[in-house]
Amino acid sequence: MRLLVVEDDRDLNRQISTALSNAGYAVDHAFDGEEGHFLGDTEPYDAVILDVGLPKLDGIAVLERWRRDGRVMPVLILTARDRWSDKVEGFDAGADDYVPKPFHMEEILARVRALLRRATGHATSELTYGPVTLDTRSSRVVVDGAAVKLTSHEYRLLSYLMHHQGRVVSRSELVEHLYDQDFDRDSNTIEVFVGRLRRKLGVDVIQTVRGLGYLCEPPGGAPAA
């Protein structure tokens, strides 16, 4: 899952970005409204954390432009604590959630998890597919009750496929959603990661759909409820 953090306070931006990347997300950041608007307009983010008070273009205007142009990714706005009008304007402009400043980083992480699972049609933080369980709170993966140790890229790949289970995901979509913009992207590495994941999981829950991409499906059957 790939996220964008738009926050002009550089320290705060770095803290949020670091916490999110430690939690297993690919993260891009922007420090003003124009840069943030451009990135959100041109890159396919799974969710955005958007400060309301931004230089060049304020957060509400950024959000209005995205929505007007059909950008539907979930957006969490950061508001000033005593500005109730920020929240009202934010929701009316198309925000999905808000966190008032100052906040605990855990709250941002929990709200991002909730936005991502809702956007992909899941109701809990723990995703299950066949014998595989992926806990988005702890970034842990368990197969048949045994923990499996994954690298951050392997985890991101599995997490993306499990969030979108039952749907064929192309290699180019994976490249766009697993790496931040500074990463040297090469779609061939996806195949390598899929191979490693299959070996580590020990069960074939990732199917290759020739010419189209990958499909997360448990061996021999329909998805678990």
83 or 167: whose CB is closer to Ca ion?
83
Contact 160, 1 (CB under 8 A): yes
CA separation for the pair 196, 209 (Å, rounded): 17
Task: Please tell me the number of Cα atoms within 13 Å of 216 on its side-chain side.
Answer: 23
User: Measured between alpha carbons, how far is 47 from 119 in angstroms, rounded to an integer?
Assistant: 9
Looking at the DSSP bridge assignments, the partners of residue 29 are 5
Q: Does 35 bind Ca ion (CB under 5 A)?
A: no
> 51 in helix, strand or coil?
strand
CB of 27 to Ca ion, least distance (A): 18
Nearer Cβ to Ca ion (32/135): 32
Of the pair 19, 143, the CB lying nearest Ca ion is at: 19
x/- map, 5-34, Ca ion, by CB under 5 A: ---x--------------------------
Question: For 168, which DSSP code?
Answer: -
In whole angstroms, the minimum distance from the beta carbon of 180 to Ca ion comes to 22
- Is position 173 an interface residue for Ca ion (rule: CB under 5 A)? no
**Residue facing Ca ion at closest CB distance:** 53
Q: Identity (one letter) of the amino acid at 34?
A: E
Q: Output 86 or 154, the one with its CB closest to Ca ion.
A: 86
Beta strand pairing call for 213-216 and 206-209: antiparallel
- Bridging pattern class, strands 75-80 and 126-129: unpaired
Instruction: Write the interaction track for Ca ion spanning residues 42-81; mark x where CB under 5 A is met and - where it is not.
Output: ---------x-x----------------------------
# chain residues binding Ca ion, by CB under 5 A: 3
Q: Enumerate residues 135-154 that contact Ca ion by CB under 5 A.
A: none
Contact between 50 and 29 (Cβ < 8 Å) = no
User: Which residues sit at the interface with Ca ion, rule CB under 5 A?
Assistant: 8, 51, 53
